[in-house]
Amino acid sequence: MEDEIPPQIIVLVTPGMGHLIPVIEFAKRLIFHHDFLVTFLIPNDGSPIKAQEKLLNSLPKSINYMFLPPVNFDDLSDDVEVETRICLTFSRSLSSLRVALKDMVTTSRVVALVVDSFGTDAFDLAEELHLPHYIFITSSAMWLSFHLELPKLDATYSGEYKDMPEPLKLPGCVPLHGVNFVDPCQDRKNEGYKWLFKRKTQIYAVGPLIRTGEASDGSECLKWLDDQPGGSVLFISFGSGGTLSNEQLTELAIGLEMSEQRFLWVVRSPSDTAANAIYFSAQSVKDPFDFLPKGFLERTKGIGLVVSSWVPQIQILSHGSTGGFLTHCGWNSTLESIVHGVPLIGWPLYAEQKMNAVMLYDMKVALMPQFDENGLVRRKEIAQVVKTLMDGNGKEGMTVRNKMEELKHTTAAVLSENGSSTKSLCKVALKWKNP
């Protein structure tokens, strides 16, 4: 009789869009290909979640979600690291998670708990309820390799990692200098650093998991792209949470103008305090157009389009007129670029993005602009790297385009019916159905 009840997976996930999107794609594969039910349990701190709710409300009926009661952060300073906030959001939600999980285990056929990489504090609760438990990693295999090597490094090196004289050698990956470690490693005393030592279990490589399509609603930017020459447009977006400083925003705008290349720019209001100022809310508070250089929009009207609202990124990256992507190197955007074969300009901002950028540059699928001593990319550098990528005859740009095209075909192979990713997901799905 139990076999007639659909097996259910409970997923504990951060509300940040960069984590929520790949988990949703994972859930879709479970329900469409393996007949599971999925429920998201979402810890939060009461920050605005309209974008997240819109996304969640569009899901298939076999995917349910529930926001856990908001946790209180009145005891934290305003400048606390975002990784610390996320870790504490999970740990302070454990009591409400316990109630929700116990109820679901009692009333449905729960076969596994899958947690966000920040949520491993929930493992003790899963063991108490005799639930198999897994981590869903939204970052790269390089991040995982680094994560597994970190305990050894922590035990043998006592200084700050940014001062390490030699790069860290990672199995199967490019060596990594300390300045490019994930953000929590830049201060070994913060809560986020301690989180990196949470345990990992058996690994199933089920990615890349990206969105397969979005409703465009006659998007202005897609209509604009339809009128541009093939491969001529540079798409610029720093993700749902990334922000530039006022000065950097100005330098980017003028650099794009100097490059004389076509561009589609998703601009956000700047922040001089944090590169991830809108991580949770995924929306700008002020009109970003007010911060652009005077006359910029008029002077670039013939070759550029600047938008401040949501854009259908998948459709932009798959559009024939898109020839490059200036990106923050968030892993979702990176995978979406690879799947669609769009070469990159890497501009990392926070989290593990510097690590991703180093890897992409080493793979020769991305160009990297040079930051000055103040951490800024200046207008001349921006103009030069944009020209290099978008110039159809330049050797360096051609190399990046060719390498990305090769990687696109490799990705298609692992996602095919007989590909390694598909087989790996089948393996874990069978394990959950037949424990």
Query: Would residue 319 show up in a list of annotated catalytic residues for this protein?
Result: no
d(CA 345, CA 324): 8
Neighbours of 247 (CB within 10 A): 13
d(CA 302, CA 261): 10
Whether residue 71 contacts residue 88, with contact meaning beta carbons closer than 8 Å, is answered with yes
Distances (CA, A) of 169 to 148, 150, 335, 397: 12, 11, 24, 28
Catalytic residue of the set 116, 133, 147, 183: 116
3-class secondary structure, 14: coil
Query: Would residue 187 show up in a list of annotated catalytic residues for this protein?
Result: no
d(CA 316, CA 311): 8
For the record, the structure tokens of 351 come out as 């989290």
Distances (CA, A) of 236 to 62, 118, 240, 262, 369: 35, 29, 12, 11, 14
Distances (CA, A) of 421 to 132, 134, 411: 21, 17, 9
Residues that are catalytic? 19, 116
